[in-house]
Amino acid sequence: MKLTFLGTGTSKGIPVIGSKNEVCLSIDKRDKRLRSSVLISWNSFNYVIDCGPDFRIQMLRANISKIDGVLYTHEHADHTAGLDDIRPFTQKYGDLPLYAKKRVLKNLKKRFDYIFTTKGKYPSAPSALLNIVKNKPFKLGDLQVIPIKVLHGKLSIFGYRFDEIVYLTDVSSITNSEKEKLKSVTILVINAFRITKHPTHFNLEQALQFIKEVSPEKAYITHISHQLGFHATVEKILPKNVFLAYDGLEVSTK
């Protein structure tokens, strides 16, 4: 199973528009971050987690010609605003399955009403199949996927476990019962917004404590703002099994 980081930035991305921050001005390509999203691939299957405003360029950059569906963590724009760009896939392969909480699907139907209308639909509009995700396992292809409930501030959102890979983003807290789903994980992906505390995301200290508690073989930090610092600088202070993810990074369980 392979995980490709399509984007590792926060809602503004890096560089931030108009910013003179030194990280935003960095020439290190690892400091250039699109909005957070990943591609999970196994056998002949390709699934994307989150479909933000950079989805089109992410698909082009990763040379992806077909996906089997999109899973959503939550409804915020940096995780959903690229939905219209599924059009090339749906025009070629038909309805694309979308997986999310009922609340998130309701939000998508409101914001992208032209996609889901049953009357007078524009001929080239995308087409999608909506699938409600509850807090229980479900099948994607030949694999059982396990939703993991976390809190993003006060908002209940989902992360996902694909066999030995767990992807969590926008986490500010998680219950002990949900942590039980993380046992024996090989690769853990978790967010760390910045060095100082944040009201709705883990900061670096909280993320590292969480990684220590879960004890994966390897952990990758994502959903990174420019306030965390330079990629090269932060990498030097991390434990030996923890890495800063960057756009385009590919990791595999085997």
CATH number for the domain spanning 26: value is 3.60.15.10
Q: Give the single-character DSSP code of 30.
A: G
pLDDT at position 179 over 90: yes
* Res 205: pLDDT: 98
Prior bond of 15 cis (ω within 30°): yes
* Res 119: pLDDT: 84
CA dist 63 and 73 (Å) reads 23
pTM of the shown model: 0.97
Chain segment 73-103, per-residue pLDDT in tens: 999 999 999 999 999 999 999 999 999 999 9
- Where does the pLDDT of residue 120 fall: very low under 50, low under 70, confident under 90, or very high at 90 and above? confident
Residue 197 structural domain: 2-252
- What average pLDDT does the segment 6-27 reach? 98
Q: Which runs of E-coded beta strand occur in 15-136? A: 37-42, 45-49, 69-71, 96-100, 128-132
Chain segment 205-251, per-residue pLDDT in tens: 999 999 999 999 999 999 999 999 999 999 999 999 999 999 999 99
CA dist 47 and 89 (Å) reads 13
Q: Count of domains in the chain?
A: 1
